Structure 1
Amino acid sequence: MTRASLDKQPHEVAAMFDDVAANYDLTNDVLSLGQARLWRKEVARAVDARPGDRVLDLAAGTGTSSLPYAAAGAYVVPCDFSLGMLREGKRRHPRLPLTAGDATRLPFADGVFDAVTISFGLRNVQNTEGALREMLRVTRPGGRLVVCEFSHPAWAPFRTVYSEYLMRALPPIATAVSSSPDAYVYLAESIRAWPDQPQLAARLRAAGWTRPAWRNLTGGIVALHRATRP
C-alpha cells in the first residue's frame, strides 16, 4: 500500500494514484456524497469549450473529466503522470489521446492550447508555481485557465465540521470503498494543508496569469479559480 508524503515526491504521488486507479471515480463519488459529478459539470461550464478549441486537461486521471470537451467538439488532450490512471482510462475511453506528462515539465509547445484546466490535481504537484508557469507557457495569449481544487469553507462552523469529516469520517469510508484507503488519508491531509482561495489567486497572479477570480462550490469545500494569459 502506498501513501504519498506531504512533500509530494512525484514518484510517490504517481504510485499512490496507480494504486487507486481502478476504483478512483467511484470512490470519489462516494466520498464526496455525489458532489464530484456536480463539480465536474461546473468545471466544464467554466472552460466553455467550443468546436475547434484545443483543451489541455491536466491531472485527467482516467479521462472522465475530458469527455465533456470532446462532446463539445473541442480537441482535448487528457494528461496525467500516473501510468496506472492512463492505462485504466485507455481501457475505458480508447479514442481519447491520453498522454503521460508532468505538470511541471509539460511535453507541449508554447501557446498551443486555447484553454488549460486541472481539477483536484494542482494540490498534488510538488512545485505549484512551476506548474502554473508551465500552464501559462502552453496557453495562447488570451487563453484561459480553470483550476478546480479543494479549498476552505468560508463559514467557520462549517469549516470545523468539514475538517472533522476529513480526518475522522473519510478514512473509514475510504477503507470500505477504496482499493488503497491509506492514499485517502494523504488526500485528506493535503486538503487541510492547501492554501485558501485568496492565497491561490495570489499564486496565479505571481505565475503571470491575469484577472484571477474564484467562485466557491458547496460552501467553499471546492473553489473554481479562473484566470487569463495576457
Structure 2
Amino acid sequence: MFDEVSTHYDRTNAVLSMGNAALWRISTTKAVAPRAGERILDIAAGTGTSSAALAKSGAHIVAADFSEGMIRVGRERHAGNPNIEFVQADATALPFKDAEFDAVTISFGLRNVVEPKKALAEFYRVTKPGGRVVICEFSTPPVKPIRVGYFAYLEHVMPRIVKLASSNAEAYDYLGESIAAWPNQPTLSSWLREAGYSNVAYRNLTLGIVALHRGGIKPADSQSTSPAS
C-alpha cells in the first residue's frame, strides 16, 4: 500500500493535516534534540522528510522503512545528503546491533505496525544506555466536542480530500479506522514503560489530535539490553 502512494505521499500528508504536518515535524525534531556526531534511527521514515530535518544538526540519520517504494523515493530525493542512510527494515525485527543508537524516533508509523509492543521492545534494544525515544502519533483529543468533530472529519471529510490529493485514494481507506482504533495517550505511555523506558511523558499537539511522547529516556546506568521487568 505504501509503495503505491510513495510518489505523492508528502503532498497528501500536508493537505490532510491542513498544513500542521510541518509543525508536528518541528516539534518532533526539537524533542529528539539531535546533536552532531550522534547516530539516530528514524523508523517509518517514508521518503525521508523527517530524517532530513534531523540531519540538519549534523547527526547521522538511519532512515528505516518497511516499504521498498518509500525507500526508493527517499534515496532519490536525498541522494546528495551524506548524513542520511536509507535502510529497508521491519520495525519488529530491526537489523541493527544492541545499543547502537543515541536516539530512536518514529512519526505516524507505530500505528501501522501489527505488533506495536514488539516494535517498542526493539526500539529499546537498539537504544544506547542514556539514549532516548521520541514517538509522534495520532491520538485521542481529550475534549469531547473536539473529539467528536475530529472523528467526523476522519469519516466524512478526509476521504473526499484524499481523492483529490493522493495518487492512490483507495490506499488511504484504512487511515481513519486505524486512527480511531489507536489507543489513547496514557495507554501508549504505559506501553513505553512496559518496554523498559523510564521518565515517560507526553505532550498533546493540535488539541490532542496528535501526541508527542517525548520522554522515554533509557536510564544511563542500565546494563541490560532487554526490557525491564
Asked whether the equivalents of residues 28 and 36 of structure 1 are also in contact (C-alpha less than 8 Å), the reply is yes
Alignment of 1:112-127 (within 5 A): 112-127=100-115
Number of residue pairs matched?
A: 215
Asked whether the equivalents of residues 171 and 182 of structure 1 are also in contact (C-alpha less than 8 Å), the reply is no
1:23 and 2:8 are equivalent in the alignment:
yes
Shift of 1:209: 1.1
1:72 and 2:61 are equivalent in the alignment:
no
Shift of 1:228: 1.1
Shift of 1:185: 1.9
1:212 and 2:200 are equivalent in the alignment:
yes
Shift of 1:51: 0.7
User: Gaps spanning 5+ residues in structure 1: where?
Assistant: 1-15
Shift of 1:229: 1.4
Please, what TM-score do these two structures have when normalized by structure 2? Answer: 0.92
Match of 1:60 among 45, 58, 77: 45
Match of 1:40 among 22, 25, 48: 25
Asked whether the equivalents of residues 167 and 185 of structure 1 are also in contact (C-alpha less than 8 Å), the reply is no
Cα RMSD over matched residues? 0.7
> Matched residue of 2:6: which SS?
helix
> Matched residue of 1:166: which SS?
helix
Asked whether the equivalents of residues 20 and 180 of structure 1 are also in contact (C-alpha less than 8 Å), the reply is yes
Match of 2:118 among 115, 118, 130: 130
Once the two structures are superposed, residues 71-108 of structure 1 have per-residue CA deviations (whole angstroms, 9 ceiling, x without a partner) of 10101100001000011111111133110000000010
Shift of 1:207: 1.1
> Distance in 2 between the 1:42 and 1:79 partners?
20
Please, what TM-score do these two structures have when normalized by structure 1? Answer: 0.92
2:188 alignment counterpart = 200
1:167 alignment counterpart = 155
> Matched residue of 1:229: which SS?
coil
Letter in 2 for 1:36: A
Match of 2:138 among 125, 140, 150: 150
Stretches (4+) displaced over 2 A: none
User: Gaps spanning 5+ residues in structure 2: where?
Assistant: 220-229
Match of 2:98 among 81, 92, 110: 110
Asked whether the equivalents of residues 170 and 184 of structure 1 are also in contact (C-alpha less than 8 Å), the reply is no
Letter in 2 for 1:89: G
Alignment of 1:73-92 (within 5 A): 73-92=58-77
